[in-house]
Amino acid sequence: MSSDFRPEGPGGDRLREGEAAGDERPYPVIRQAFLYAARAVMFVFFAPAFIILVYAVVPPPVTPLMLMRVVEGHGLSKDWVQISEISPHMQRAVIAAEDGKFCTHGGFDWDAVDTAMQRMRRGGSLHGASTISMQTSKNLFLWPQRTFFRKGAEAYITVWLETLLSKRRILELYLNVIEFGPGIYGVEAAARHYFGVSAKDVTRTQAAQLAAVLPSPLTRRPGPTAYAGTIAARMNHVVLGESGPCN
């Protein structure tokens, strides 16, 4: 008596080996590819959040822009300092120069975005709408060239940044990674390079002059310019809390 028993199919025929009822293996290659794609999407979606959580307590070791400038031959000079060791004048200067609504927005200055879009529709370039939070996102993760793809990635990372970090920490990161000149990053390195003082000893005038180079750090140098004077005047309207910015 044969022991090769196989169940019958719908038509009464014996199913071949591997085709027993309930043994379904549809498109294993496609299914595996879908799983890999889903994992990749999940990684891209959550990777910025994970890194930002690390940067909540650990100083960023290096940024993409720093690496690009090194390749371009600009060198690398940076010294991390806590925001408590950065002159209040410097904190007020960058807020006055780069993002007057830093303490009140959730990462985006929608009035500035609307103005920038109107300017672009008239044939101008898309600039002038970046907040300190957006610039911090760009400096920590992205590249400097302006493209719609980069701006989209910048906006996405900014949402995570504002969700996971305090305004104090965002400003602290910004002041430590922002470019002040060829190969010069952060307020401490900039203050020592240009004025021979530490970040905590930067004066009101020096802070305004340093902030004035931020729009074009590779070509501008601190000095008594009209723009530095404008920043110094705006600083009168920036109030810091007892425990730091926005508090």
| 106 within some domain | yes
| 14 within some domain | no
Report the CATH number that the domain containing residue 223 is assigned in CATH.
1.10.3810.10
| 40 within some domain | no
Q: pLDDT truncated to tens, each residue of the chain (247 aa)?
A: 555 544 544 554 554 544 444 445 557 778 777 676 666 666 667 788 999 999 999 999 999 999 999 999 999 999 999 999 999 999 999 999 999 999 988 888 767 666 666 666 666 555 556 899 999 999 999 988 777 888 889 999 999 999 999 999 999 999 999 999 999 999 999 999 999 999 999 999 999 999 999 999 999 999 999 999 999 999 999 988 776 788 7
Three-state secondary-structure class, residue 121: helix
Query: Which residue reads 């169940």 in tokens?
Result: 7
| 53 within some domain | no
Give the DSSP H or E segment for 179. Answer: strand 179-181
Side chain identity at residue 231, one-letter code: I
| 13 within some domain | no
Cα 198 from Cα 83, distance rounded (Å): 12
* 65: containing domain: 60-237
Cα 59 from Cα 39, distance rounded (Å): 28
Q: CB under 8 Å, gap of 24 or more: what pairs does 85-88 form?
A: 85/188, 85/198, 85/199, 85/200, 86/172, 86/175, 86/187, 86/188, 86/199, 86/200, 86/202, 87/187, 87/199, 87/200, 87/201, 87/202, 87/203, 87/207, 88/240
How many domains, the chain?
Answer: 1
| 136 within some domain | yes
CB 93 within 8 A of CB 243: no
| 127 within some domain | yes
| 84 within some domain | yes
